[in-house]
Amino acid sequence: MPENSIDHIDFEDLNKRSISPHIITHLYTADPSAHVFDGKIYIYPSHDIDAGDAFDDLGSHFAMEDYHVFSMEDIDSTVKDHGIALHVDNVKWAEKQMWAPDANEKDGKYYLFFPAKDYKGVFRIGVAVGENPEGPFTPMDKPIEGSFSIDPAVYKDDNGEYYMYFGGIWGGQLQRWRNGVFNPNNSTSPIAFLPNDDEPALLPFVAKMSDDLLEFAEKPREVQILDEKGKLLLAGDNERRFFEAAWVHKYNGKYYFSYSTGDTHFICYAIGDNPYGPFSYKGKILNPVVGWTSHHSICEFKGKWYLFYHDSSLSKGVTHLRSVKIAEIQYDEDGLIKTLEPYNDFSIL
């Protein structure tokens, strides 16, 4: 939530009421992407730091510069920090802001997918390759051709095909690509190129990956998110429309596309029949947490499903200093996800 809404919060009490503890406390981490490799849970988060940058709607204060990889033997075991897996200084094309990453595995190699701003101030998506899930990772010299915006999430389908989902508005620059090329004008305003409230909301993108997972195998296409009438969600429907943090998982043969609503602080989901969509909106997975952003992943481990997310309660509400948490999610008989309230008997709305 916005920082001016937290003055009334007793953070010691809030953390007692939390449905889950922070699992990493020696540094600040956010935007956790979780996967199971070799029977262990591996978490690929962004690494929050206080770089002293000004707070603004472009996210300048999110000045992350490296990635750590974490692993867990079991869902409630001690988390191991494997140290720095990749630093911006080792990425030739990237200048700053190593935001939310993801990872995946193919043929015994591990791939870290990450957004960063290039030296023109434009977000691109890069790939780095390692021999182990914890890294270290060696980055490619150039970003993925045709990539833009933020929040890559790479889903491996049952047939062995890999798909990258990506995009984020405001600081994520998605609105600056509405005409297919980057529009740098009015660069201090995140809303300069957003649709009107009665127009369809901006959509995330998806592209099948090449066999080596280093490039797109096709031109990225929009991922449609539909309302109960089969119409695209509108830009003014900001408690349901896409903002950032795309993620896909599969449950009982259906594809679940989940995402953050950004400025309204929900994690929502929609369901479809194939990885390209369209996806029909179904509801909320997580209600608002302390901290401006919500960003998550969903992972199955030993027959149960878990939501990996973050909040800012450990830093007493500092927006850009967040900490990772885990909560079990449950489905009803129709495959709908039961909404989680992050704090018992406590609402920050």
Active site residues: 31, 244
| Contacts for 253 with CB less than 8 Å, ≥ 6 apart | none
DSSP 331-349: B-TTSPBPPBPSBTT----
3-state SS class at 282? strand
| Contacts for 166 with CB less than 8 Å, ≥ 6 apart | 115, 125, 147, 149, 150, 151, 152, 153, 204, 205, 206, 220, 246
Rounded to whole angstroms, how far apart are CA atoms 147 and 274? 22
Determine contact, residues 70/79, Cβ cutoff 8 Å.
yes
Beta strand pairing call for 279-286 and 225-226: parallel
| Contacts for 134 with CB less than 8 Å, ≥ 6 apart | 42, 69, 71, 82, 85
Determine contact, residues 245/235, Cβ cutoff 8 Å.
no
3-state SS class at 75? coil
Can you say how many angstroms the Cα of residue 252 is from the centroid of all Cα atoms in its chain? 23
Determine contact, residues 233/242, Cβ cutoff 8 Å.
yes
What is the side-by-side strand order in the sheet with 205-208? Answer: 153-156, 162-166, 205-208, 221-222
Determine contact, residues 3/319, Cβ cutoff 8 Å.
yes
